[in-house]
Amino acid sequence: MWNSAHLGGESTEIIHIAVLGGGMTPGEDVTPADQLSGDALNRIVEGVRIYHLVPSACLVTSGFSLHGDLSQAEILAATALDLGVSPRDTLWLPDPRTTREEAAAYKARFGKEATVILVTSALHLPRAMCWFRYNGLDPIPAPANHLVKITPDRWTHHWRPSMRKISIMQKVFHEYAGLIELAWVSRR
């Protein structure tokens, strides 16, 4: 998990907080934050939290436009502006559709010079880290949106079946499928 000790402390160091897209539903009469999915909202909140702890950092948001409107990258950035991020500290990658494309687009635009703090959902983080490493980058992981939170005084709750747990398993299978794709691609 990311903390400020990960950074070297040099004032000349370029630091990017890369917040991956996580879904959105466009809407003209709602705030940018209300357009984001729960995953995306948690990701940008964590990215902004880190941004406020690292004054020299820039926020890099990514994600495509599903409906031809504003991209996820733009909506994430607009939410960040609403949360106090300076416009000069926001950069967009508005074209990538997948984690694989996000990692490649980041490297194509920024290269390997910056220290990258990678913000995405905790469940998605292992696959995202693998794609960034596949592209020759070595990001610092910053998980957000933890789906499983251990509560010692309610341990029996974790064993009871529920619809939410079925939903979590669906996400787990999606991540395993993505890791299989990565293994297949990296063997070529």
What's the average model confidence in pLDDT over 122-149? 91
pLDDT of residue 58: 96
Cα R_g (the chain), whole angstroms: 17
Q: What is the CATH number of domain 4-150?
A: 3.40.50.620
Least confident of 10-24, 29-43, 75-89, 104-118: 10-24
Paired with 92 in beta bridges are: 61
- CB contact at 8 A, 107 and 135: yes
Q: Is 113 in a helix, a strand, or coil?
A: coil
pLDDT of residue 8: 55
Task: Report the alpha-carbon angle 81-83-86, nearest 5.
Answer: 40
Place of tokens 């220290």: 115
Report H helices in the chain.
32-35, 38-53, 72-82, 99-110, 125-134, 163-187
Q: Which of 32, 164, 61, 182 is nearest to 120 (CA)?
A: 61
Instruction: Please state, for a pLDDT cut of 90, what percent of the chain lies above it.
Output: 62
pLDDT of residue 136: 96
What's the average model confidence in pLDDT over 39-49? 96
DSSP 52: H
pLDDT of residue 156: 62
C-alpha–C-alpha distance, residues 103 and 101, integer Å: 5
C-alpha–C-alpha distance, residues 174 and 157, integer Å: 24
C-alpha–C-alpha distance, residues 126 and 123, integer Å: 7
- Tell me how far CA of residue 27 lies from CA of 31, 35, 70, in angstroms: 8, 6, 10
Question: Per residue in 46-88, pLDDT tens?
Answer: 999 999 999 899 999 999 998 778 999 999 999 999 999 999 9
Question: Per residue in 114-129, pLDDT tens?
Answer: 999 999 999 999 999 9
C-alpha–C-alpha distance, residues 120 and 134, integer Å: 17
User: pTM of the prediction?
Assistant: 0.83
